[in-house]
Structure 1
Amino acid sequence: MVQQLTPETKPEIIYPDSDGKPMFDNTKQYQWIVKIKENLEIIFAENPDVFIAGDLLWYPAEGSVKTRQAPDVMVVFGRPKGDRGSYKQCSENNIAPQVVFEILSPGNRTKEMAEKMLFYQRYGVEEYYVYDPDTIELVGYLKNQEWLEEIEEINNWVSPRLGIRFELISDNLEIYYPDGRKFLTSVELHQQLEQEKQRAEQEYERAEKEQQKYQDLLAKLQAKGIDINTI
């Protein structure tokens, strides 16, 4: 009797969706993460193949659940928008995030940031930006062959991938859309929309008043027997 061997089934690899670490250490760090992430979402809203995420675990190596990072913000060109519990590169056509942002907090250690730098360099990040909102210091790195090299002049630097411009002023970092508009918080965006709405309403009211003046003048002329069509 010949015994048939049942092929072994490989156990499913579980990639955790959380590393147990908090997304942010303070409100300032959180505000910058949201500001950058949401404004980038607006820029690429019409492009279905740009995936943007904040504090999402990225697994670059198939089968290795310990090889991971959770960038504060990451941008992936060539992958569709949509919800994900984590970014498993082996399930994403092996496309690595091209742009990564990290927002520093007092809890970030030098060793930790050095390890992140090496990780992003090793796994194919093309642009890496680190911002410290307490010291108003921005450092950027650009991939040159296999290495991430520091951008010498970051002030007024335009991201090759994103098209956004960074401007360092005395007490803040400003980031600008490709068309020159400034990155705004959700509150500032709401205030801007309200102002535009008020201007539109005021313009409508002005046009209505002008129309009413015209109608009143027309009625007076007609009352005097004047036909404006003959004027």
Structure 2
Amino acid sequence: MKNLSNTWLTDDMIDFEFKKYTLLAYLQNVKEKFSQHELYPQLSDLLMHYDNLLNLKKNKALLYEQFPQVATGVDLKQLRITYQKLIEDDELMRELSEIIQYALPQINQSITHGRELYDFVEGHLSFDEIGLMPIYQNEGYVLLTEQTDKNVAVYRYKISLINLQKEEYRAIHTQFLFNEIKSITNTFNKIKLKLSKKFSDLPNPATFLVVSKLQFPIKETILPISKRFLLKHVNMS
């Protein structure tokens, strides 16, 4: 099983052994991805599933709301359809509680593994600025490469503010542009100069360099960690 549905707990058959098999198959796939040093989207998915289960454990009303409902009639006075939940069985709720109790430590163990891998990868990455940095850094470029590889993956990034539930959060969007080959003549500064000439809307772009000492997947690992680095170090202006 590659993915786990957001509603896996209440999908299909509500049976402890069946859900256990479903969860363990998913976690086995996550383990295989981690063994290949692929962090995302596995780690973020694990955190999402863990938080969902934790919330359901704390609030049985949320668990109840996860179940589907069927129309039972029409209220003509209020002009609305009335519904009834497809779950009324206390024994079934106890079964779900047992599944949640089992799943939480299993998922948490995988999260721990993922965080250890994250720290390992981050410890083998270096982050540097290329050339003079402008005051405006909400948009720019990030160059990703390996220490022993000539290939350089060039991404454009943009950081923006989003409002969610009356709170402001920073979000980052990245777009792959092209690959460059680094050399004595085609240095990182030269690549930055090419970018400023090619994209005139950023004449002096904020440009960051991420170099990996070991070989890790760019898209699944190095890029997501680099995005977190950018969100942490770039001040919104």
TM-score per shorter chain, which class? under 0.3
**Which has the larger share of helix?**
2
- Larger C-alpha radius of gyration, 1 or 2? 1
**What's the TM-score once normalised by structure 2's chain length?**
0.22
**What's the TM-score once normalised by structure 1's chain length?**
0.22
Greater RCO (CA < 8 Å, at least 6 residues apart): 2
**Which has the larger share of strand?**
2
